[in-house]
A and B are shown apart, each in its own frame.
Chain A
Amino acid sequence: MDQTGNAGTTARAFPLPSEITDVPGAEGWRSMYPYFTRFQPEDDQRFWFYNAMHFPEPMPAFDVITAEVPYTAIGANTARVFSFPTTLGIEHRIVNGRVYITAIPVLDPAEVERRAADFARRAGIYYENWDRLYEGWKTRMRALIDEIESIEIPALPDLEDIAVVENSTGVAQNHYVRENYHRCLDLYSKMWHHHTEFLMLGYGAYVVFFEFCKKAFPEIPDQTVARMVAGIDVIMYRPDEELKRLARLAVDAGVDDLFTEGTDPASILEALRSRGAAGARWLAGLDEARDPWFHVSTGDGFYHHHRSWNEDLTVPFAALPRYIALVRAGESLERPTDELKRERDRIVAEYRELLTSDDERAAFDQMLGLCRVVFPYVEDHKFYCEHWFTTRFFQKIRRFGELLHRFGVLADADDVFHLHHTEVDQALTDVMLAWAAGGAVLGGAHFQPIIAERRSMLDKLRDWSPPPALGPVPEALNDPAVKMLWGVTAQTLEAWSSEIVDELEIHGYAASPGVVEGTARVLRDVNQIGELRDGEILVCPVTAPSWGPVFGKIKAAVSDIGGTMSHAAIVAREYGMPAVVGTGHATKRIKTGQRLRVDGDRGIVRILG
């Protein structure tokens, strides 16, 4: 890569933000998003990359809250709370429905020095008390989950309940429409503050251990370092474990014949209910698993349509036929945790032994030890935050959508997600006023045409291929977190910006070793997961943790975005299947039905025809 990095020279490989033109038919996309998400003329001077890892699809108007709120929280923690020395927070912009981000660096060495002093003191308090603070974190997170669960959506009956008078509460139901809606937003915001409270400190521990291993063992694959830090008993495996338990239960109770591939969950549940005691036994087992383990999102929790397993049983039920077949074949579905642990410890011990001095070994022990301290948070926080809490949050918003639908503002409850959260605020106010006055709700006439247009725009925006990055390439891309989380390094930028030399070859990160050939199934969206068939190769924008169970069905995984520490990479390694992540364009270049060779050793996907 040319190191001059000047915009306007031959070094510039990516378009400038100002050069992006509107997608035909979706020229009105700006109306969906707040003014502060628009690219400004001076943004042409800065480097932005498309956050396809979290936002692989165009953003519905409400869903931009999943960018707005996390970035208020992460920046607050890095810039203002912990005083990270070299970076403030992350800015985001939206163009054609896609979220681009950039981190604001601290460049003045004196300022870095000043911030470092505060950082040492503040981060030190967290590192030194990590276990205790993390216990407190879990308690607070459970309280947030309980609280959002308890939020009620006022029914707005024609006449208030007599209790309002008897208890002289003095506040009518319509007040709680807004208060409770705001509480949902406020709790969501608090959740993200807690989410990012530990996040960067946790990743910091990983980053230094990674860098150390790369220096001591220049040839070590990222995935091997990841294996050394990986925990064995982590929450994110639990939902999958529950499915295996249910598979065993189905065979045990003799209802396993009902689980056939392609049958929809409702029909299966129906059939179970007519199976008497055996069916009831399995259904009781299902109920046991559902809370909390089915509060897992079918996506990464950044879109309203990432429903939980509880809301949509398609994903968990899609995994059951295969697990049942394995149980019937007498295979143990137990994760060999002792064996995994032994193997991990052996790998650690052997690398440690290969180090050249006791000093290096002591440093290795310190860094790995710190990773082990932060690991429970790093691995488990997603279940609490993106899954358990966030699926609850979207459910509550959907309930407000039902209210708006009941009062004629929305044609469909789910249309609430085509309104920005401030527009939802307005619509609810409209309902509150109309209910109070006994007048007409005006929102239907106002919002329904807007929603129809937005729906059509999103369809058009979906087909737009966002450039992986915008603006001049920086001289050095050294933010370790960007590298770890997004898999964006100087090398990736080079790959993104270079012309496609071999049309049939796609390069990414070697996330999990092995080479296989098979048929591609391109899933642009997690809701298509039911289309996946046994033995196919999954090609998707981003692999999410809850896709774990279907990893049992597939031969290999390929994603547009993600690094070697992404959860999908970890799951693929555990399933022993090849995975290539962070390819940039795989979903654009591969078509369902094509034959692929996935080389997880080298990070190459080849289209065979």
Chain B
Amino acid sequence: MGGHLIRDFAAIGRADRPMAGGKGASLGELTRAGIRVPPGFVVTTAAYERTLASIDPEAAARARIAALPPGDHAAVARVTAGVRARIASADPPAHVRAAIIDAYRALGAGALVAVRSSATGEDSEDASYAGLQDTYLCVRGADEVVDRVRACWASLYNDHSVIYRLRRGHGEDGLAMAVVVQRMVDPRCAGVMFTRSPTTGDRSVVAVEACWGLGSALVSGDVTPDSYVVSKVTGEIIKRTISAKLRAHRRDPAGAGVVTTDVPEDLRTRPCLDADELRALVRLARRVEDHYGAPQDIEWAIAGDLPAGANIVVLQSRPETVWSGRAGAAPAAAPKARAFDHVLDALSNRGAAD
């Protein structure tokens, strides 16, 4: 492995966020915890820093950005476009490039990989900018991988990211981006799951959404997924909605890249998960949540070419932010002097909360 420039997932933990970014640290943490994660590596922030140092040795470009007035969108667009173009096109230092290529080759000859940016910022920031533009699926070939890594680096200078930093006065020093390179699975179906209800915040359930093919169809809103709410405690399916899943994202059969396809008629209204798979997903969700000790938002896939029992993989897990970020809700009830006071108060139309 390429030392500090590249880190295998297995060599990363959650404390490594500063050099592996949120996604990378999480995938490393999950791998270490024994959760099935497709193999991969992180191109660390050090690799980014070396590269930027070679492109912008005096940090002049960064200084120019830092001096931009946040309200002047046109100026931001003009300046950042130049920076992005340079990062995306300039060759990284030879040893950085070699390290990425070596690591990629170690994933297998001609491996199909996903290349995803892994920001080092806060979770909320992460969540705000987690976007498809920073994720490249079904990438094949060493040169292609290097190109996508550079594109991820460049995404740090997206207009909206820059404007956000300018507004917040975050500055451009110490800013860095890690990139995750992960072997693709060929999913029969995929989706997301939350270890609490996204609609009510109920922590006793896991909410699962699933679509045919790659989960990107679901994340991008190209398909209405099947959705389930399952009790963590009893395993019962509390709600189950099977939708007409008209489209799927799949790897381009020509080799690399993603294509959107029509789902064959007979599969559209068929549930993409069976009861065993759903159970296994819920078990997995609980395990990940237990590991982190906090509600999680998990991307998963079921590989079509792996046997049942070994075919469910986690592609990403991040802290659930919507409900966790809310101020603590009023408690459902507080103890009373005598147990039956709860009944007396309820039947006397006195609120249960007093």
Which residues from chain A contact B197 at a C-beta distance below 8 Å? Answer: 218-219
- Considering the complex, which residues of chain A in the window 184-218 have a beta carbon less than 8 Å from any beta carbon of chain B? 201, 204-205, 207-208, 211-212, 215-218
Q: Which of A114-139 contact B (CB under 8 A)?
A: 116, 119-120, 123-124, 127-128
Judge whether A119 and B348 touch: CB under 8 Å. yes
With a cutoff of 8 Å between Cβ atoms, the chain A residues found around residue B338 in the complex are 124, 127-128
- Cross-chain pair count, CB within 8 angstroms: 139
Chain B nearest CB, measured from A74 CB (Å) = 15
Question: B200 at interface (Cβ–Cβ under 8 A)?
Answer: yes
Interface residues of A in 341-384 (CB under 8 A from B): 347, 350-351, 354-357, 359-360, 362-367, 369-370
Kindly identify, within residues 404 to 452 of chain A, every residue whose CB is under 8 Å from any CB belonging to chain B.
Answer: none
Contacts of A527 in B (CB 8 A): none
> Does B229 belong to the interface (CB within 8 Å)?
yes
The answer to whether B347 touches A354, judged by C-beta atoms less than 8 angstroms apart, is no
State whether the Cβ of B346 lies closer than 8 Å to any Cβ in chain A.
yes
A175 vs B269: C-alpha distance when bound (angstroms) = 75
User: B240 to chain A: which residues have CB within 8 Å?
Assistant: 601-602
Q: How far is the CA of A212 from the CA of B331 in the complex (A)?
A: 10
Chain A residues within 8 Å of chain B by Cβ, number: 49
On chain A, the residues within 8 Å of B343 by CB distance are 123, 127, 201, 204-205, 207-208, 370
Instruction: A466 to B22: give the CA distance in the assembly, Å.
Output: 63
Flag whether A102 is at the interface (Cβ < 8 A): no
Is B231 at the interface (CB under 8 A from chain A)? yes
A207 to B200, CA, bound (A): 21
A85 CA to B343 CA in the complex, in Å? 11
B233 to chain A: which residues have CB within 8 Å? 224, 347, 350-351, 354
B310 within 8 A of A: no
> Is B339 an interface position by the 8 A CB rule?
yes
A221 within 8 A of B: yes
B207 nearest CB neighbor, chain A only: A219
**How does the 8 Å CB contact mask read for B322-340 relative to A, with 1 for contact and 0 for none?**
0000001001111110111
Q: What is the chain A residue whose CB lies nearest that of B330?
A: A215
A497 to chain B, nearest CB (A): 24
Min distance, Cβ A591 to any Cβ of chain B, angstroms: 27
Task: For the complex formed, measure the closest distance between the CB of B207 and the CB atoms of chain A, giving whole angstroms.
Answer: 9
Tell me if B203 counts as interface (CB < 8 A to partner A).
Answer: yes
A112 touches B349 (CB 8 A): yes
A361 to chain B, nearest CB (A): 9
Q: Which residues of the partner chain A approach B236 to less than 8 Å between Cβ atoms?
A: 221, 224, 513, 601
Q: Which chain A residues border B335 with CB–CB below 8 Å?
A: 359, 362-363, 365-366
Is B56 an interface residue when CB atoms closer than 8 A count as contact?
no
- The interface size bin for chain B is 35 or more
Does chain B have a CB within 8 A of A277? no
- The answer to whether B107 has its CB under 8 Å from any CB of chain A is no
| Residue in contact with A370 in the complex, picked from B237, B239, B331, B340, CB distance below 8 Å | B340
- Given known contacts A86-B348, A119-B347, A347-B233, is B332 in contact with A354 (CB within 8 Å)? no
Which of B202, B328, B347, B349 is close to A204, meaning CB atoms less than 8 Å apart?
A: B347
A216 touches B349 (CB 8 A): no
| Residue pair B202, A208 in contact (C-beta under 8 Å) | no
B63-97 interface code vs A (CB 8 A; 1 in, 0 out): 00000000000000000000000000000000000
A15 proximity list for chain B (CB < 8 A) = none
Asked whether any CB of chain B lies closer than 8 Å to the CB of A84, the reply is yes
Contact pick for A211, options B238, B339, B340, B352, CB 8 Å: B352
Interface check A608, CB cutoff 8 A:
no
Q: Which residue of B lies closest to A360 (CB)?
A: B331
Is B205's beta carbon under 8 Å from chain A? yes
Of all chain B residues, which has the CB nearest A355? Answer: B332
**When the two chains form their complex, are residues A127 and B239 in contact, meaning their CB atoms are under 8 A apart?**
no
Question: A601 to B333, Cβ gap below 8 A?
Answer: no
Minimum CB–CB distance from A562 to chain B (whole Å) comes to 20
Interface string of B123-141 (1 = CB under 8 A from A): 0000000000000000000
A480 at the interface (CB under 8 A from B): yes
In the complex with contacts A85-B349, A354-B203, A602-B239, A367-B342 CB distance below 8 A: yes
Decide: B346 and A215 in contact? CB cutoff 8 A. no
A351 to B334, CA, bound (A): 16
Question: Which B residues lie within 8 Å of A86 (CB)?
Answer: 347-349
* Residues on the B chain within 8 Å of A217, using CB: 202-205
> Per a CB cutoff under 8 Å, which of B234, B334, B349, B352 touches A224?
B234
Contact for A219 among B238, B328, B332, B349, CB less than 8 A: B238
* Contact residues in B for A360 (Cβ distance below 8 Å): 331-334
Q: Does B53 contact A (CB under 8 A)?
A: no
Find chain B residues with CB under 8 A from A362 CB. 334-335
B231 touches A220 (CB 8 A): yes
**A347 and B348 contact, CB distance less than 8 A:** no
Which of A204, A207, A354 is the one whose CB lies under 8 Å from B204?
Answer: A354
Across the two chains, which residue of chain A brings its CB closest to B331? A360
Residue numbers in B under 8 Å from A128 (CB-CB):
338, 340
Given A112-B349, A208-B352, A221-B236, A367 contacting B333 (CB threshold 8 A): yes
In the assembled complex, B15 has its CB within 8 A of some CB on chain A? no
B318 at the interface (CB under 8 A from A): no
* A601 touching B238, Cβ below 8 Å: yes
Complex contacts, B350 vs chain A, CB 8 Å: 116
Q: Do B331 and A359 have beta carbons less than 8 Å apart? A: yes
Considering the complex, which residues of chain B in the window 248-279 have a beta carbon less than 8 Å from any beta carbon of chain A? none
CA distance A277 to B328 in the complex (A): 72
A203 CB → nearest B CB, Å? 10
Give A359 to B339 CA distance when docked, in angstroms.
13
Q: Say whether A123 contacts B344, CB under 8 Å.
A: yes
Bound complex: CA A220 to CA B238 (Å) = 8
Task: State whether A363 and B334 are in contact (beta carbons under 8 Å apart), knowing that A116-B344, A370-B339 are contacts in the complex.
Answer: yes
Name the distance in Å between A575's Cβ and chain B's nearest Cβ: 15
- Whether A112 lies near B202 (C-beta < 8 A) is no
A479 to B245, CA, bound (A): 43
Interface centre among B202, B204, B237 (most CB of A within 10 A): B204
Residues on A with C-beta less than 8 A from B333 are 212, 215-216, 360, 363-364, 367
Q: Are A221 and B238 in contact (CB under 8 A)?
A: yes
What is the bound-complex CA distance between A360 and B234, given in angstroms?
21
Interface centre among B203, B338, B347 (most CB of A within 10 A): B347
- Measured in the bound complex, the distance between the Cα atoms of B139 and A302 in whole Å is 72
Question: A461–B332 Cα gap in the complex (Å)?
Answer: 48
Chain A: minimal CB distance from B168 (Å): 31
Contact B202 A211 (CB under 8 A): no
In the bound complex, CA of A85 to CA of B348 (Å): 5
Q: Is B232 part of the contact surface with A, judged by Cβ < 8 Å?
A: yes
**In the assembly, what is the distance between CA of A86 and CA of B345, in Å?**
11
Give the residues from 12 to 55 in chain B that come closer than 8 angstroms, CB to CB, to chain A: none
Q: Are B344 and A124 in contact (CB under 8 A)?
A: yes
Q: Which chain B residues border A365 with CB–CB below 8 Å? A: 335
Bound CA–CA A347/B235 (angstroms): 11
Q: Which B residues touch A601, using CB under 8 A?
A: 236-240
CA distance A85 to B344 in the complex (A): 9
- Do B200 and A218 have beta carbons less than 8 Å apart? yes
A220 touches B202 (CB 8 A): yes
Q: How far is the CA of A357 from the CA of B200 in the complex (A)?
A: 18
Q: Please name the residue on chain B nearest to A106 by beta carbon.
A: B349
Q: B332 to A224, Cβ gap below 8 A?
A: no
Assembly CA distance A224 to B230 (angstroms) = 12
Contacts of B352 in A (CB 8 A): 208, 211-212, 215
Q: Do the beta carbons of A119 and B339 come within 8 Å of each other?
A: no
What residues of B have a CB within 8 angstroms of the CB of A359 in the complex? 331, 334-335
A224 vs B237: C-alpha distance in the bound complex, in angstroms?
12
Q: Which of B197, B229, B331, B340 counts the most A-chain CB atoms under 10 A from its CB?
A: B340
Knowing that A127-B343, A354-B204, A601-B237 touch, tell me 8 more A-B residue pairs with CB under 8 angstroms.
A85-B348, A119-B347, A120-B348, A204-B347, A212-B333, A224-B234, A363-B335, A367-B339
Q: Which 10 A-B pairs have the closest CB atoms?
A: A362-B335, A127-B340, A216-B332, A218-B200, A366-B339, A363-B333, A116-B348, A215-B332, A219-B202, A204-B343
Query: Could you list 14 examples of A-B contacts with CB < 8 Å?
Result: A85-B348, A124-B338, A205-B340, A212-B352, A215-B352, A217-B202, A219-B231, A224-B236, A350-B233, A359-B331, A360-B332, A366-B342, A602-B239, A602-B240
